A and B are shown apart, each in its own frame.
Chain A
Amino acid sequence: MRTLFVPLILVATAMFAYAPYMIDQAAYESSMGLVSKIFYFHAPSGMVMLLSAVVCGVASALYLWRRNPMADHVAIAAAELTVLYGLIVLVTGPLWARKAWGIWWDWEARLTMSFVGWLIAVSYLFVRKYGGPGSDKLGAALAVFGTANVPFIYLSVNLWRTLHPKTSVVPTLPPLIRGPFWFSALALFLMYLLLLTARVHLERQRAALDALYLTDED
């Protein structure tokens, strides 16, 4: 990943520069007009958010039971990115909803679920920041529980209410929308990969620095 880092940054930059043009060229969705373009940011960010949450959960489980410090670095980096991509989802979603449903927010299954998931990720960061010593294990347990909770949140809110377009929308997209959509998804995923690598690297440097301080004091 280290040797690929710089070339990948260049690729990602080029993709982000080209994406607005591609989205502009994509077919208009008949009923939504310009607002339908939000979809190119919203849905891929949601996918990356979910992926990032899973990464955080798996890494936390590895840290909790295997004591692998690298897993902890990955977990905190993934949690921060879950919050970041979650924020994109939660900001672009209401903009779209205002036009599609006439309301900014609805306590509907997917919306509630994203909100709860985002809240759990934020509380993870909260624990890591203000928890003091031992907060790494505490956060790991929180992430493991949060991940185990996902199916239950999904099931309970789904039984409670449903209004959001189904996930089956994505495979059935018309070709003129499908191309730019997957392009945007790839660009956002690449950005995720780069940010994650950079953040893990930073966390590792910080741990190394802490270790150096400790040996110096002894």
Chain B
Amino acid sequence: MFVKTALLVLKKDFAIEVRSREILYTTLLFALSCVLVFSIAFVKEGEPLLDAAAGILWIAVEFAGTLALGKTFERERYAETLRALLLAPAPRAAIYAGKMLGIVLLLSVAEVLLVPLVALLFHAPLLAHPALLVALLAAGTIGFAIVGTLFAAMLVRVRSRDVMLPILLYPMTVPVMIAGVRGTSALLQSPADVASAGMWIGLLASLDVVFLTIALWTFEPLMTE
């Protein structure tokens, strides 16, 4: 029941998105603009600063993710469909899980584009350890999406939600960002520091487990009027 509901919510979001592709395109374009802005700050005399690639990649993901989160729930609010979803005779936590998976999927698509682009533009050997990079990005993106989906969902009824989301989300995801950026830049060293990258992946994975438990637990009382 739980998995089925979550997949149904995911399927619904996917079907809407496939028709308009609005969130996907805006997220991708926004991520590109982020990369452009950062290139101004972190490229000196044609050469990117050391370690800049890792930071740019993760900040672009975080910023684009915030935008996508806001948009996804704006859509639900606009047609009052979130209320309909919550009225459905299904476990609330499953609705949360479906929404969260949708965000993870969307950000994964953005990352597939961002990683080669950042590697190319900032001369970073990002693809030297593909398995470790994928593990880092997956664990980090899931951690971000867990907190982000919960906060975006509870902000739906709040007036200044578009300002509030980044204010709440960025301090809360500091460990995700530190682990992501440090882990990625460990992979960018020559030779790559595989041991530290593994340690950061471990930290991210344990964070995902703890945050997911609390999120599934809090979603129900939070969404009850």
Which residues of A come within 8 Å of B, CB atoms? 64-65, 112, 116, 119-120, 123, 126-127, 130-135, 137-138, 141-142, 144-146, 148-149, 152-153, 155-157, 159-160
Give Cα distance in the complex from A78 to B214, angstroms.
Answer: 22
Inside 8 A of A159's CB, which chain B residues have their CB? 182, 199, 203
Q: At the interface, yes or no: B106 with Cβ under 8 Å from chain A?
A: no
Question: Residue of B at shortest CB range from A117?
Answer: B171
Inside 8 A of B179's CB, which chain A residues have their CB? 156
Inside 8 A of B174's CB, which chain A residues have their CB? 112, 116, 149, 153, 156-157
Interface centre among B164, B167, B175, B207 (most CB of A within 10 A): B175
B194 to chain A, nearest CB (A): 16
A202 to chain B, nearest CB (A): 24
A164 to chain B, nearest CB (A): 17
A-B contacts counted at CB < 8 A amount to: 81
A148 to chain B, nearest CB (A): 6
Main SS at interface, chain A = helix
Of the candidates A120, A135, A138, A148, the one whose C-beta lies within 8 Å of that of B211 is: A148
Give Cα distance in the complex from A155 to B210, angstroms.
Answer: 14
Of B29-37, B109-117, B120-128, B155-163, the segment with at least 4 beta carbons within 8 Å of chain A is: B155-163
Q: At the interface, yes or no: B222 with Cβ under 8 Å from chain A?
A: yes
Known contacts being A126-B167, A130-B159, is A153 close to B175, with CB within 8 Å?
yes
Inside 8 A of B168's CB, which chain A residues have their CB? 123, 127, 142
